[in-house]
Amino acid sequence: MSNLFPYYPVFLDLVGRAAVLLGGDATMALLARNLLDVGAGVSAFDPAPSDAMRSLAGSVRLKTRRWRTADLKGANLVIASAREPRPHRARLAAKGVQAVFHMVDQPDWSDVALGSVAAHGALTIGVAAGGAPAGLTEALRGRLEAALPNGISEFLTAVGRARQDIERALTAPAARDAFWAMLAEAAFTAPGGGAAHWDKFIAKKLREAAAR
C-alpha cells in the first residue's frame, strides 16, 4: 500500500439520518455538535452524561441510561465512547442494523476513522491521521483551516452559480480543467471580496477564456 493511512476518505450524507452515540462524555458532546451541524438526528445514551452533553439536550435526544440493542434501530451511524464497556456488543448491534460503526480511539473496532472537521459554506475539510491522538489531529485541522483565504465561502457560492455557464462555454475538458485551476489559484491570490465581487471576476475570466 502506497499510503500508510489505511482508509479511503469519504464524506457521509447524514442530513435527516440517525446517528446514535453510546456515551455522553465531552468528546462525544463535540461529536454530537458536529453531527447536528451536518443535519443528522442525534441520540445519546449515558447514565451520567457530561455537562457538555447535557447542554445539548434541547437538540440531542439524550437518555440518561445505558443503551439497549433496540435503541440502535434505524441508525445510520453508531459511535461508541472510548469508555464503552461493551465494545463487542456495540459493534454487533451496529452491524445488526447495517449502521456504520466507530469507536473513539479504537481503530481496530471501527469501520471508519472520524477525523477533525472544518466547514466553510460548501467547503468541508476533514483531517485524520492514523494512530494520532485527537488533540493533535484537531491542532493540525486548525492550522490548515487558518491557511484558507478570507471569503472562501462567498467564492464557492459564486462558483456554484456560474458552474453551468462555465461548462457550456468551455466544452473541451482541458480548457475547463485549466479554468478551474485558475479559479482555485485566484481564491488565494486575487483581491478578496463578497459574492458579488466573485460573480464579476468569474464572468470576466470566463469571457476571456471563451474568446481564446
Report which DSSP code applies to 82.
Answer: T
> Are both 25 and 108 inside the same structural domain?
yes
Q: Give the bridge partners for 116, in sequence order.
A: 127
Question: Tens digit of pLDDT for each residue in 2-14?
Answer: 555 677 888 899 9
> Are both 40 and 55 inside the same structural domain?
yes
Q: Which of 96, 129, 147 is the last residue of a domain?
A: 147
Q: What pLDDT score does 32 carry?
A: 96
> Are both 27 and 80 inside the same structural domain?
yes
> Are both 64 and 137 inside the same structural domain?
no
Q: Which residue has the higher pLDDT, 192 or 145?
A: 145
Q: Give the bridge partners for 20, in sequence order.
A: 43, 78
What amino acid occupies position 81?
Answer: S
Cell of 171: 466544452
> Are both 172 and 85 inside the same structural domain?
no
Q: What pLDDT score does 198 carry?
A: 93
> Are both 141 and 173 inside the same structural domain?
no
> Are both 161 and 92 inside the same structural domain?
no
Indicate the number of domains in the chain: 3
Reduce the DSSP state of residue 3 to 3 states and report it: coil
Domain around 124: 115-147
pTM, rounded to two decimals: 0.79
Question: Tens digit of pLDDT for each residue in 133-152?
Answer: 777 888 888 898 888 888 89
Handedness of CA 53, 54, 59, 64 (dihedral sign): positive
> Are both 167 and 138 inside the same structural domain?
no
